A and B are shown apart, each in its own frame.
Chain A
Amino acid sequence: MGQITLQQVTKNFGDVQVIPPLDLTIEDGEFTVFVGPSGCGKSTLLRLIAGLEDITSGTILIDGADATAISPAKRGLAMVFQSYALYPHMSVRKNIAFPMRMAGVDKAEQDRRIEQAATALNLTDYLDRRPGQLSGGQRQRVAIGRAIVREPAAFLFDEPLSNLDAALRVGMRLEISELHKRLKTTMIYVTHDQVEAMTMADKIVVLRAGNIEQVGSPLDLYRAPRNVFVAGFIGSPKMNLIEGPEAAKHDAHTIGVRPEHIDVVETDGQWQGRVGVAEHLGSDTFFHVHDTGLAEMLTVRVAGEVNLRHGDTIHLNPRADQIHRFDDKGLRIQ
C-alpha cells in the first residue's frame, strides 16, 4: 500500500514561501513524476513527503494515516538520491543490508533479500566491493537495491539519473520503469527532464514556483496543456507559441502549434519563411524557420528526409485541428 495525500501543504524558508498551499493525491501503485524547471520546488516537495524537511503548515497522509509529525525513518518510504548517497565505508552488501539492519530484520531474511535484489539488479559479482570501486551506473543500482529491500510503501527518486551519461541514462530509465511494472509499488520521481517524465510516468505533476500547473497523464498534458507554461514545457522540441494578428485570427491571445503538427508543402503554404539551421537526423528533419512574421523562430519537425537547406524558402501549413488556443492570462481556451 502506498497512497500519499498532501492537504494544503506549505513550506517557507525564512520569509520566502517556496510552496504555496498545495493539494495532491498520489494513488497506490502509481508512477508519479514531478517535473519543472530548476528552482520550481519539485525537490523540496519530495523532501517534504520524505520528512527530510518539515512542512510549515498542512497535512501529509500516507495510506490515510497522518504522517506529518512522523520522522523520515518511520514513514516507510525509501529514497534514491541524485548523488546515490551510498555509505562509502561499507561494502555493497552492507549498504543494501543497512535499512534491514536498522529495522531488525533477521539475518537469514536479510541474506535472502540481498540475494534477490542483487540478482535483479545485476550486482551479484559486486557485493563485496566498496561503492568507490563501482561505476556510476552500478552505484545507482546499489542505491536502488538499498531502497528495494526495505519493501517500502513508496519509492522516492530525486533526479536519480542526472549524474549518468546519456546512454546509461536511457538504460536506467528502462530499468526503473520495469522495476515499477514488476513491484507495482508507488513511485514518486523528480526530474527536470521532460523526456524522462513523458516516458516513465503514469501521472505527471508540472510545477512552477511551487505551484502545480497541471496534473495528468503524459498524453493528457501533450494533447491538452492547461496553460502556456505547460504547453512550452512538455514536448520536445518545444511547442511554437505565436502571438499577435495570427493568434487573433483564431480568437486567441496566443496560439501554440507543436513542431510535428506543421506540414511542409511545396508552394502556397499558409505560412512561409527562410530555413535557418536544418538538422537532418535521417528519421526526422528539424527546421528552424526565420522571417515568418509570426514569431522570432518556428521549429518544424518533418518525418524522414526533406531536401531543404540553409537559406531556402519554406512553405508551411499548420494542422488546423492541432492548434492550441490560449487567452491573455495564458490559460487554455476550450
Chain B
Amino acid sequence: MARNVTNQRKLINTVLAWGIGLLIFFPILWTILTSFKSEATAIADPPVFLFFDWTLDNYRVVQERSDYMRFLWNSVIIAGGSTLLGIIVAVPAAWSMAFVPSARTKDILLWMLSTKMLPAVGVLYPIYLIFIKMGLLDSRVGLTVVLMLINLPIIIWMLYTYFREIPGEILEAARMDGASLKEEILYVLTPMAVPGIASTVLLNIILAWNEAFWTLNLTAAKAAPLTAFIASYSSPEGLFYAKLSAASTMAIAPILILGWFSQKQLVRGLTFGAVK
C-alpha cells in the first residue's frame, strides 16, 4: 500500500512539474511561433496556434532592416566582458570573505546583496551624469563596467558559497608548501572551484545578456546589444508583433542554446549549498 501512495505522489509531482514548466515556457514558445506568422495572423482573434501558413518573411525583413550581427557582437562583448571582469574582481573578494572572515564579513555580504534591492532607476540619474562626464555613453567599455558592477554582488555570493565548501586546511597546506597568496589562489583554490566558477560564469552571462534597463538607457547605436535590437521593433507607431517576435527569437536563441547545453552546471550552481 505504502508503495502505491508513493507512486501516486510521484505521478502528481511529475504532472505538476511539467505543468509549471510548460506554463513558464509558454510565452517563449508563443514568441517563437509568432515569429513564423504573417503580421495579420499574429494579431488574429481568436489566436491561431499551430495551423497557419509558416513564413520566414519576418526574419528576412528583420535582417534587411537591421544588422543583427553587430548587436550580437555587442551582446557577446558586454556579457562576456562584464563576466570576466566580475570573476577577476570576485575571486579574491570571495576568497578573503570565505577564508579570512572578519567580524564584519556577514554585514558586508548582506550590504552587497542589499544593493540589488535598490530599484535600478534610483541610480540612473547619477550614473547617467557620470557617463556623460566621462564620455562613456553608448560605449561598450562603459556598459561592460556597469553590468559588472550590477552583477558583482551575485557573483561574489555564489563564489563565496562555493569557496566555503573547500576545506581551509588544503589552502593552509599550500601556504606551508611555499605558495604565495597569488599562487595559492591560482594553483589550488581556483582549480578546485572550477565547477563553482563555471556555473557562476554561466549564470552571470545569462543575467548580463538579458539585462535591459541599463543597456537601453546607456546606449544608442554603437554599443547597443540585442536587448536594444528587440526594443527597436516594439514601436508605438504600429503593430509589428511578428517582426518583434522574430527579433526576440533571434536575440534569445544564442543564450537559450548555451543554457540548454549547460543546464547541468546551472542547476548544480543554483542549488549548491542547499542540496549537497
Contact = CB atoms under 8 A, between A and B. Distances in A.
A293 interface: no
A137 B166 CA distance: 22
Interface string B244-265: 0000000000000000000000
A174 interface: no
Contacts of A87: 170, 173-174, 188, 192
A246 to B, nearest CB: 49
Nearest to A73: B178
B176 A73 contact: yes
Contacts of A79: 172-173, 176
A79 B172 CA distance: 9
B167 A83 contact: yes
A98 B188 CA distance: 10
A85 B176 CA distance: 11
B28 interface: no
Given A83-B167, A88-B192, A89-B192, A146 B177 contact: yes
A37 interface: no
Contacts, number: 61
Given A85-B170, A88-B192, A102-B183, A50 B176 contact: yes
A81 B173 contact: yes
Interface residues of A, number: 24
A77 B178 CA distance: 9
A99 interface: yes
Contact of B178 (A82, A83, A86, A103): A103
B175 A52 contact: yes
A98 B177 contact: yes
A113 interface: no
Interface in B148-192: 167, 169-170, 172-180, 183, 187-188, 191-192
A72 B176 CA distance: 5
Given A85-B167, A87-B170, A89-B191, A102 B178 contact: yes
A81 B188 CA distance: 16
A150 interface: yes
Nearest to A83: B169
27 contacts: A71-B175, A72-B175, A73-B179, A73-B180, A74-B178, A78-B177, A79-B173, A79-B176, A81-B169, A81-B172, A81-B173, A82-B169, A83-B167, A85-B167, A85-B172, A85-B173, A86-B170, A86-B173, A87-B170, A87-B174, A87-B188, A88-B170, A98-B179, A102-B180, A102-B183, A103-B178, A150-B177
Interface of B: 167, 169-170, 172-180, 183, 187-188, 191-192, 194
Nearest 10 A/B pairs, CB to CB: A99-B177, A85-B173, A102-B178, A85-B169, A79-B176, A73-B178, A89-B191, A72-B175, A85-B170, A81-B169
